[in-house]
Amino acid sequence: MAVRQGGRGGGWRSAVVATTALAVMAVASAAAADVVSVIQARQTHFKEIGKAAKAMAEQLKSPTPSVAVVQSSVKQIDALAPQLPSWFPVGSGPMSGVKTQAEAEIWTKPDAFKRDAAAFADAAHKLDVAAAGGDLAAIRTQAQAMGQTCKTCHEAFRQRDD
């Protein structure tokens, strides 16, 4: 209706508006696509850690644990853990509008977040050293210590499952 009232000029103007809107949307969706891929990559990394932790925990619970499986699983966790802070670039939080269980506090309290992440990396490395030693009692103790660093950080910075 507005177009008809404006005649030819109105049509030209609305074409400009439409083109601009399309361009803005394209840029925005490119940024959104970027955030989506960042979040997807982050989730993949965490699932790798979860998978390795599960494989390790199953061996530690088993009556006949395989130290080799524990060692290889722990090695994966130790390799991934130090990278963790880099999986949370600014703009990849809940404000992005993309579905994520990352809490905004990761970016509003970056020091606390980095401290928790460092505690995890440290515990994962100690677990790797313990696993290399092959003493199951020492591995179990350190696995529990590492599990506690997962919990601490998740309680503060990860939205609970619903």
Partner 1 sequence: MTDESSSSSAAAERLGRGRLVRVWDAPTRWVHILIIVLIGLAWWTESHDQMDWHIRIGCALLGVVLFRLAWGVFGAATSRFSSFVRGPRTVLGYAVKLVKGGAAEGGVGHNPMGGWSVVALLGVMAAEIGVGLFCVDVDGLESGPLADRVSFQAGRAAAHWHTVLFNALLALIALHLCAIVFYAVVRRDNLIGPMLTGRKRLSATPDDPGALKPGSPILFWMTAAGAAGVAVWAAYGFKV
Contacts to partner 1 by CB under 8 A: 47, 49-54, 56-58, 61, 63, 143, 147, 150-151, 154, 158, 161-162
Closer residue to partner 1 in complex, CB, 34/75: 75
Q: In the bound complex, what is the minimum distance in angstroms from residue 41's beta carbon to partner 1?
A: 16
Q: In the bound complex, what is the minimum distance in angstroms from residue 71's beta carbon to partner 1?
A: 16
Task: Give, for 17, the enclosing helix (H) or strand (E).
Answer: helix 2-61
Q: Residue 104: count other Cβ atoms within 10 Å of its Cβ.
A: 12
Rounded to the nearest angstrom, the gap between the alpha carbon of residue 48 and the centroid of all alpha carbons in its chain is 11
Q: In the bound complex, what is the minimum distance in angstroms from residue 22's beta carbon to partner 1?
A: 38
Closer residue to partner 1 in complex, CB, 32/45: 45
Q: In the bound complex, what is the minimum distance in angstroms from residue 103's beta carbon to partner 1?
A: 14
Helices (H), 62-109: 67-80, 105-108
* Neighbouring C-alpha atoms within 13 Å toward the C-beta of 92: 18
- What is the spatial distance between Cα 115 and Cα 50, in angstroms, rounded to a whole number? 21
Closer residue to partner 1 in complex, CB, 34/58: 58
- What is the spatial distance between Cα 124 and Cα 117, in angstroms, rounded to a whole number? 11
Q: What residues have CB less than 8 Å from 1, skipping those under 6 apart?
A: none
Closer residue to partner 1 in complex, CB, 59/92: 59
Q: In the bound complex, what is the minimum distance in angstroms from residue 55's beta carbon to partner 1?
A: 8
Closer residue to partner 1 in complex, CB, 52/98: 52
